[in-house]
């Protein structure tokens, strides 16, 4: 499976003057995917105040990213939020982590998962809300460890939401 590159998505978004970051877009699309939402692309473009008809290359690119996310949840490897490379300054990666979480929360909100969420899923969403406010404090060594731990937590949290919300959004009972 081809993996979207953070910088390539940033370039695509900038070419169309989309006022959102690659992390926000990826998080938003992930929020739509975990709930099984089908109509999110228009909602996303509405948020960005974009006209779909003149933006066919952008729509196609975002649809490809959305499909990549969908396929990523089917893979045995854990889902990865789209963030800048490890070579990027930590301050940028922390900001992108917050943007990704904000995007995910917007995607979840816009897709309005039916049937509600379990207490565990609601707690996960609250934790993700706290991550959306993550800030860099300047201690590179401690921050790098914390960033790695938070990113791992996010992978597990999104997998939990996917496992719980996708069956609910399709009217299934979610029992195995």
Quote the CA–CA distance of 26 and 21 in Å, as a whole number: 9
pLDDT at residue 116, rounded to an integer: 73
Cα–Cα distances (Å) from 100 to 18, 35, 81, 116, 158, in that order, read 15, 17, 7, 22, 12
pTM here is: 0.85
Q: What is the pLDDT of residue 129?
A: 94
Homologous superfamily of the 6-169 domain (CATH): YgfB uncharacterised protein family PF03695 (1.20.120.740)
Residue 61 and residue 140 in contact, taking contact as beta carbons nearer than 8 Å: no
Per-residue model confidence as pLDDT tens for the chain (176 residues):
457 899 999 998 888 888 889 999 999 999 988 888 766 666 666 666 665 566 778 878 888 888 888 888 877 776 789 999 999 999 999 999 999 999 999 988 887 665 678 889 889 999 999 999 988 877 778 888 989 999 999 999 998 888 888 754 444 444 43
Domain positions in the chain are 6-169
* pLDDT for the residue 169: 47
CA distance 26 to 79: 12
Measured CA angle at 63 (ends 62, 65), to 5 deg: 60
Which of 122, 135, 72, 129 has its CA nearest to residue 104? 129
pLDDT in the model for residue 3: 77
What is the model's pLDDT at position 151?
93
- In angstroms, the CA 15 to CA 63 distance is 17
């Amino acid at each position: 499976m081809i993996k979207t590159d953070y910088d390539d998505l940033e370039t695509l978004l900038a070419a169309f003057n989309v006022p959102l970051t690659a992390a926000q877009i990826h998080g938003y699309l992930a929020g739509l995917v975990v709930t099984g939402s089908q109509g999110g692309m228009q909602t996303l473009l509405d948020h960005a105040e974009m006209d779909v008809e003149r933006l066919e290359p952008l729509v196609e690119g975002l649809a490809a990213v959305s499909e990549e996310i969908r396929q990523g949840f089917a893979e045995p490897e854990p889902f990865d939020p789209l963030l800048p490379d490890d070579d990027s300054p930590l301050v940028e990666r922390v900001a992108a982590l917050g943007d990704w979480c904000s995007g995910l929360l917007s995607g979840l909100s816009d897709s309005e998962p039916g049937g509600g969420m379990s207490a565990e899923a609601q707690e996960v969403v609250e934790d993700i809300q706290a991550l959306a406010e993550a800030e860099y404090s300047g201690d590179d060594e401690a921050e790098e460890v914390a960033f790695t731990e938070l990113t791992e937590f996010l992978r597990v949290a999104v997998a939990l939401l996917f496992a719980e919300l996708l069956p609910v959004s399709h009217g299934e009972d979610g029992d195995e």
